[in-house]
Amino acid sequence: MMKTMCTLMAGLVILGVAATTWAEDDATTNPAQVEAEQPIPPVNVVVPPDPDALPFLEEKHFVMNWLLLGPFMYDKDAFAGDEQQAAATHAFVDNAGELDGSQEAPEGTTWQVHSFTGDVQAGQVNLHVPYGGNTDYAAAYAVAILRADEPMESLSMWVGSDDYLQIWLNGQLIHTYDQKRRGSDWDQDLIEDVTLNQGDNRLVVKCVDVVGGWDFYLRLTDVDDNPLTIENAE
Ligand SMILES: [Ca+2]
């Protein structure tokens, strides 16, 4: 059995305070302040499963604290595919897997930290909340740090999205969904054999919307399918 998670480190508390401060800023009306302060990805602490816990999915089982870069609005005719599928793998920024908040936000986009609360159901990262409800043909990148107390191997990552997804873990592309538009739900795609290093692991999600809903879900399970708990920094 894996060891119990240690007490949060002092550094985590500092990062958490910073994240809260930026989350309260209105980045769209105060760009000077955003440029002056370097965004720091929020820390999401990954805790091994409790084998005695009932396997109900709750908000704590999903990554909900994200540093967002967006929105990248695109023309509906800019990408190939009957449902703009080529947008799914388009690089709206260079080296997406390396995003950490230090890169300059392209024109029309901002960095902002957002702590989500599921709207439709637990775990929903609803990008209409930070970007408004009328954002068809749009993409955004979401960055989070997953902090593990010890190496964690043979994990599964379960994701769902509306519409397309690409996911990088520690700089490596580990998943692409670019098939058809879809409504989101828990566990639509399975990414197997995921390893978290001891310490901080950078997770980057690109979520591309065609029209309508724009959101995703992301959670982790251990080799026995027990859900890991994510202690979002406050
Ligand atoms: Ca959509």
Q: Domain of 60: which CATH number?
A: 2.60.120
Same domain, 135 and 52: yes
* 101 vs 68: CA distance, rounded Å: 9
Parent domain of 28: 2-36
Same domain, 60 and 151: yes
Same domain, 93 and 143: yes
Please tell me the predicted confidence (pLDDT) of residue 162. Answer: 97
Same domain, 18 and 123: no
Q: How far is the CA of 231 from the centre of ligand 1 (A)?
A: 29
Please tell me the predicted confidence (pLDDT) of residue 25. Answer: 43
Query: How many domains, in total, are found in the chain?
Result: 2
Residues with beta carbon < 5 A to ion ligand 1? 162-163, 209, 212-213
Q: How far is the CA of 124 from the centre of ligand 1 (A)?
A: 14
Same domain, 111 and 207: yes
Q: For the full predicted model, state whether its pTM sits above 0.75.
A: yes
Same domain, 15 and 112: no
Q: What is the pLDDT of residues 154-176, one digit of tens each?
A: 999 999 999 999 999 999 999 99
Please tell me the predicted confidence (pLDDT) of residue 134. Answer: 84
Q: What is the pLDDT of residues 114-162, one digit of tens each?
A: 999 998 999 999 999 999 988 999 999 999 999 999 999 999 999 999 9
pLDDT at residue 220 tops 90: yes
Q: What is the pLDDT of residues 7-49, one digit of tens each?
A: 333 333 333 333 333 334 444 444 444 455 678 888 889 988 8
Same domain, 118 and 12: no
* Contact predicate 164/211, CB 8 Å: no
Same domain, 50 and 27: no
Q: How far is the CA of 214 from the centre of ligand 1 (A)?
A: 5
Please tell me the predicted confidence (pLDDT) of residue 54. Answer: 64
pLDDT at residue 187 tops 90: yes
| C-alpha to C-alpha distances, 74 to 49, 86, 92, 104, nearest whole angstrom | 40, 12, 10, 19
Mean pLDDT of the chain: 85
